[in-house]
Amino acid sequence: MSEPQVRRDKTRYLYLAVIVAAVAGVAVGFLAPDLGVALKPLGTAFVALIKMMISPIIFCTIVLGIGSVAKAAKVGRVGGLALGYFLVMSTVALAIGLVVGNLVDPGQGLQLTDELRASAAAEAAKGGESDTTAFLLGIIPATLVSAFTEGSVLQTLLVALLAGFALQAMGPRATPILAGVEHIQRLVFRILAMIMWAAPVGAFGAMAAVVGATGVDALTSLGVIMLSFYATCLLFVFVVLGPLLHLVARVNVLSLFSYLRREFLLILSTSSSESALPRLIAKMEHLGVSRPVVGITVPTGYSFNLDGTAIYLTMATLFVASATGAPLSFGEQVSLLVFMMIASKGAAGVTGAGLATLASGLQSHRPELVDGVGLIVGIDRFMSEARALTNFAGNAVATVVIGSWTGEFDRERAQEVLSGRDPFDETTLLDEEHETASEAASKDAVPEPVR
């Protein structure tokens, strides 16, 4: 029993090293800005390593989740409930952002420069091709395996759903295939655990680069929009998500966030919620949410449950309109933001995607406002952190809530985990000693056709 404890201590040192590395990165960025910017590839490489693992993890999780469910209707019920929940929460986040943005009016008094106009044009070019039709067609991969090579979450989700339902229809003959996928999943999580040891290097490079490039000027001149955005995210998380989680699942939101503290730290260092997606899947299963619910809710939420992105797009739009002296009417605000929410689907884990979506939305609806995007280019990285943290918190809460609504959440198990009596195994990122109800049911069902 002492062996696992030693391993957990080692990972604890790892995440302390992440904190130290992030602080060191900030210091390097301030003291030697050019060196800090030159260190950016370190952060980029670490995020790329994490993204490399996303597609196989999503595929294995969903295939095992759906393949082990006896009835396809159950998968449809979870998916439908999840999409409905995501739509409601995104609308609530949008409404809160509109209210706070209109009250604060953060862009008043700012001026545009030629340099800022050029930055805005570059961002608009990144997202100019985005529309609803392209988004829907983009869900379909060119081949069955190209979803894994292109790194598209939605394409991987589609292929995994098709494979899961096909295995489900095969009945007992699918058992060997499911066993093989389970072994692959164990291998993938083991590789991920190895990659996590590079987190301090990635955090150091990312923080040094952003501080070196931005400096203090942008933070002081645009402090109002940043503080307003952070405050709005906190308001949404603790006034909307917190009470909902306690009402539905009887789980304290602070306890849940404490359980996920390492994931929050990872996101804070990388500004990408996608970097914590594999660990969220593993930890939600360990918490007591069944594998089918986790396998459907978490990957889908990363594309459709963009609470932080909705708040960001709302406040950034109002900020740009005010800063350029062309405020939007309420009707214009709603129509423009609905378009942006649709265009942003599937980009929750991509650093900077929110900025490109903002620029492309303004380009398509109010081209004269695009120049104002340059005002927040310098601090978008810091806003991206709050955006990613809020998206991640929303998906964690959604998984527990939907698990409770569908009767697939073990509350007693959750209490053991959140109290620290049943710690998460950081060495494998998998539950080797516990199995979910669906896994137990599938194992019990296997011998019957053999008899």
Residue 297 has pLDDT above 50, yes or no: yes
pLDDT at residue number 395 = 92
The SS3 assignment for 328 reads coil
**According to DSSP H, which parts of 138-252 are helical?**
146-150, 153-170, 175-195, 199-214, 217-221, 223-235, 242-249
More confident residue, 144 or 363: 144
> Tokens representing 122?
């570059």
Can you list the domains of the chain with their CATH numbers? 2-450 (1.10.3860.10)
For residues 245 and 251, the answer to whether their CB atoms sit within 8 Å is yes
Question: Tens digit of pLDDT for each residue in 29-78?
Answer: 888 888 888 888 887 787 777 777 777 877 887 787 776 665 555 667 78
pLDDT at residue number 339 = 67
pLDDT-derived band at 98 (thresholds 50, 70, 90) equals confident
pLDDT at residue number 113 = 46
Q: Kindly report the CA angle at 376 between 371 and 380, in degrees rounded to 5?
A: 135
Question: Tens digit of pLDDT for each residue in 128-165?
Answer: 444 556 667 777 888 888 877 776 667 877 888 888 88
Nearest to 341 by CA among 87, 119, 47, 145: 87
Residue 3 has pLDDT above 50, yes or no: no
More confident residue, 303 or 251: 251
Nearest to 227 by CA among 334, 391, 386: 386
Nearest to 251 by CA among 403, 72, 446, 64: 403
Residue 201 has pLDDT above 80, yes or no: yes
CA distance 192 to 4: 18
pLDDT at residue number 247 = 94
CA distance 338 to 340: 5
> Tokens representing 210?
């952003």
DSSP line for 278-317: HHHHHHHHHHTB-HHHHHHHHHHHHHH--HHHHHHHHHHH
pLDDT at residue number 343 = 54
pTM for the model stands at 0.64
Question: Tens digit of pLDDT for each residue in 269-286?
Answer: 766 777 788 888 889 999
Residue 406 has pLDDT above 80, yes or no: yes
More confident residue, 273 or 12: 273
pLDDT-derived band at 238 (thresholds 50, 70, 90) equals very high
Interval 416-442 mean pLDDT: 64
pLDDT-derived band at 394 (thresholds 50, 70, 90) equals very high
Residue 403 has pLDDT above 50, yes or no: yes
For residues 229 and 308, the answer to whether their CB atoms sit within 8 Å is no
> Tokens representing 217?
């000027």
For residues 10 and 183, the answer to whether their CB atoms sit within 8 Å is no
pLDDT at residue number 440 = 46
CA distance 300 to 307: 13
Interval 96-114 mean pLDDT: 67
Interval 239-264 mean pLDDT: 92
pLDDT at residue number 401 = 94
pLDDT at residue number 210 = 67
CA distance 290 to 277: 17
CA distances to 85, 240, 389 from 234, rounded to whole Å, are 20, 10, 10
